[in-house]
Structure 1
């Protein structure tokens, strides 16, 4: 067994040990074995070395190249960097499997794969759906060409098109839609492209993905959050968002804070509790949260990508110095959303769902009709009588 084949086998066994091969979709394990990830990987991958993304060339470091693909079922393999930030990747094998399981894909289904990338997701969908049943749309002409070559090399009939999937949809309705990049709002055109009774699986907000079932009248799509993972952002806006500390610094600027005060709060859960992080993502969809720790405790920096920012700096003894600027008081918003999450019983991601309608979309808790709800970024949450979490 070659080193590459051995790494494939080890990852397959690791997923089995974790129960990551879904029982309701046994075809996925067969498809991944028949179409391994490396068949769709470029000969140069990019690895973060702590300061920048550096190349890992297959010809120079074949074992390092294989490690990028198979050492971690939860890690994406970066294939393209734009402006110092990842702009395309081969999604983590565990995430790809989880999303395709959520799609409930059956033979002969017509599938729209949004965001072709290197073509691996489209290949797995075509393995299941059959020849000529998958159409895939990619904004980047170079990536589309690469995917076509790799799909042809493994003998799969997939229609790869270059275009903006937010404005151009297949001529015929599809049974299933799966997106491989994150959107802040699910485009209504995507819902319209799926026949009534069909399903969409879409990454939302770069933190999780949701499975939406289209209503029989075609006028809405509703479903549950399916899992947590981080995804590449939508590039159809022409912008690659600046994330992390650099994003905060860009909004913060160098001027003085508009307000300062001291509070008692331990921010450690912000760095470790993904149930809390997801709840804050729901309540404050346009706010980015950056955390860091030192001997005084965990500190947090917030920004909305526009004009507002906040810094909650640990000073020891369980105290925080809070600085805020811009038209919004983001620290106050975060602490209020945190308190609301605790009042609701500290729900986890799988307690939430989403509804998309022509006039807006919202995330709900426990029940899509009368549970608590929050608008997504730019969305609308119709009025509802909020009741206690069950």
Structure 2
């Protein structure tokens, strides 16, 4: 696709961000940076499209319109840039999420920034545009991606360092502390080394597990970090951690297999909120974080399927009369766990996603509702 076509695509994305009110009013620099450093300037020549069965390559040289379409689908859509073993392993994140996370970072000129997970280098570039020359260091475990990002950063005339390193258990490359840490891949628990890497009063913004992104502020004594959920986001998982639990129906079928339920009962419950209410979905994610929840509709209403990626599963089938048949199997009663977490959310007054936060200490991490001293749910610590 020629330059004129890309200019139009960029203008369309800018307008769509405006229409969706996705440009952060408190950080007007984000819009300026994205105009100066458009996402297509950091996209590889091959992108990947889901065709309903598998990810297929979209080559810029062969299908320039299709390639540009993958980049500029919508403000909430990521562009898959790498596939391994049939699954996405890197992407250019959705523009609206990138803007929201950079706004949450509260980045100022002169700040020293650790960008964790370079990928194609776009977020490192945006941070460098704001922070200034020599103020951003980015780490990436994939040497090929690191090389690609270095080339794109250099082509954009930006002075930002890219280091091949695993950020999960090390300090800032070059030593010392940074003012801001921005992670581009999802972690369930924050490595304590990240907190140690950020000065007291500094900010850590990261995608939290399967859903949501969080902004933490490091305490003045450096012994904890705490902060609020900023919004919903789905990112690639940490490559060095356990494999993410697949989210599709095939994963549920793999867990259940041909097993018959060993527990059956009726519930009086309307499952429609599971399909429609993302605040409820987020509350369930907080209370039962390892559970994958799927929904679907038929003539009797909304149905749900639940699994933990291991051996436990549950199916909730609407009966069309205001009741639901709950079938469960495996060592855990996941349907009961989801129902109990739903009841707890109701008892708490149906809080929304922005009513939750996270606290991190050297020995424990937990999610909380309304305040760090309010209702809390433990987060499993990362392995050493």
Alignment-derived partner of residue 297 in structure 1: 301
Q: Distance in 1 between matches of 2:142 and 2:82?
A: 11
TM superposition score normalised by structure 1: 0.94
Query: Is this contact kept in 1: 2:245–2:308, CA < 8 A?
Result: no
What SS does the aligned partner of 2:377 have?
strand
Task: Show CA shifts across 1:305-333 (max 9, x none).
Answer: 22221111223323322211122111111
Q: Distance in 2 between matches of 1:315 and 1:80?
A: 43
What SS does the aligned partner of 2:32 have?
helix
2:259 to 255, 261, 275: 255
1:376 matched to 2:383: no
What SS does the aligned partner of 1:224 have?
strand
Q: Distance in 2 between matches of 1:190 and 1:305?
A: 28
* Superposition deviation, residue 211 in structure 1: 0.3
1:208 matched to 2:212: yes
1:358 matched to 2:362: yes
* Superposition deviation, residue 70 in structure 1: 1.6
Query: Is this contact kept in 2: 1:251–1:308, CA < 8 A?
Result: yes
What SS does the aligned partner of 1:317 have?
coil
What SS does the aligned partner of 2:319 have?
strand
Query: Is this contact kept in 2: 1:87–1:240, CA < 8 A?
Result: no
* Superposition deviation, residue 281 in structure 1: 0.5
* Superposition deviation, residue 29 in structure 1: 1.0
What SS does the aligned partner of 1:318 have?
coil
Alignment-derived partner of residue 386 in structure 1: none
2:184 to 151, 172, 180: 180
Alignment-derived partner of residue 167 in structure 1: 169
Task: Describe how 1:1-390 pairs up with structure 2 within 5 A.
Answer: 2-170=4-172, 171-237=175-241, 239-369=243-373, 371-378=374-381
Tell me how many residue pairs correspond in the alignment.
378
Q: Distance in 1 between matches of 2:342 and 2:113?
A: 39
Q: Return 5+ residue gaps in structure 2 as ranges.
A: none
What SS does the aligned partner of 1:2 have?
helix
What SS does the aligned partner of 2:229 have?
strand
Alignment-derived partner of residue 382 in structure 1: none
* Superposition deviation, residue 158 in structure 1: 1.3
Q: Distance in 1 between matches of 2:180 and 2:53?
A: 40
Query: Is this contact kept in 2: 1:285–1:377, CA < 8 A?
Result: no
Task: Show CA shifts across 1:188-233 (max 9, x none).
Answer: 1111111111110010012110000000000000111001111111
* Superposition deviation, residue 240 in structure 1: 4.6
What SS does the aligned partner of 1:106 have?
coil
TM superposition score normalised by structure 2: 0.95
Task: Show CA shifts across 1:244-301 (max 9, x none).
Answer: 2232223223222221222232211111110100000011111111112222222111
State the Cα RMSD in Å: 1.5
